[in-house]
Amino acid sequence: MEKQIAEHIDTVGDNHISTNIETPLRKDAFDTSEDEKIVHIQHHFSKIMEELGLDLTDDSLSGTPYRVAKMYVKELFYGLNPIHKPKLSTFENKYGYGKMLIEQDITIDSACEHHFLPITGLAHIAYIPQDRVIGLSKINRLVNYYAHRPQVQERLSLQIMKDLQHVLKTESVIVMIIAKHLCVSSRGIKDKSSFTTTLEYGGEFHKNEVRKEFLSCVNTVTIK
Ligand SMILES: [Zn+2]
């Protein structure tokens, strides 16, 4: 039985399967404060280090459990907590701009939810406005927010797209993410050169020529 469970865990991880557009969160996820979470994670992480055989009385290691806990809660995974979701205020499209707007080369700093290893890359996002437009930096902030939680790349693309479609009141949004997964390059298959591209879109972007226009603008073949 345990072997079966272990095999299932490996299968989900190595195939990078995502089961839902919503990040699976517990109902009581935020009953504890961020400070309480840091205290708890610090405790658990020190146990992991001890089990690995590390001497936590060593000067260099003694502060690590706290540093990791703080980094998880305040930095890498701050986007789990909806209180950190950026306000996506939009404006009336007074100038009647009706063609494509592209925000490209947005940094992706995320972590894979199967191995807790970094996912790094770029996002290119475009929309074709109808009545509403959005401040450009809001798009970057939204990407940052959803990236800063344990993720799978497909879900990250969808979460960003759905939110933009919702606030912009148009289906015509496209989200392209090109990223490297450390869990592919540094463990498992250990492929250093491959990267992953996801492309999610709706509305006008279903048209071949509209997508082509977007792709020719972002013109991104590889990432460094
Ligand atoms: Zn992974």
Domains 2-84 and 90-217 share a fold: no
What does the pLDDT read at residue 63?
98
Tell me the CA–centroid distance for residue 185 and ligand 1, in Å: 10
Fold of 2-84: GTP Cyclohydrolase I; Chain A, domain 1 (1.10.286)
Q: Where are the domains of the chain?
A: 2-84, 90-217
Tell me the CA–centroid distance for residue 190 and ligand 1, in Å: 12
What does the pLDDT read at residue 102?
96
Q: Provide CATH code, domain 90-217.
A: 3.30.1130.10
Token output for 18 = 């995502």
The full DSSP string for 97-160 is: --S-EEEEEEEEEEEETTT--EEEEEEEEEE--SSEEE-HHHHHHHHHHHHSSEE-HHHHHHHH
What does the pLDDT read at residue 33?
97
Task: State mean pLDDT over 189-211.
Answer: 96
Answer yes or no: pTM beyond 0.85. Answer: yes
124 among known catalytic residues: no
115 among known catalytic residues: yes
Task: State mean pLDDT over 158-165.
Answer: 97
Task: State mean pLDDT over 190-213.
Answer: 96
Looking at 114, 124, 165, 200, which residue is catalytic? 114
Span 72-131, pLDDT tens digits? 999 999 999 999 999 999 999 999 999 999 999 999 999 999 999 999 999 999 999 999
Span 19-73, pLDDT tens digits? 578 999 999 999 999 999 999 999 999 999 999 999 999 999 999 999 999 999 9
Tell me the CA–centroid distance for residue 4 and ligand 1, in Å: 20
Q: Is the pLDDT of residue 18 over 70?
A: no
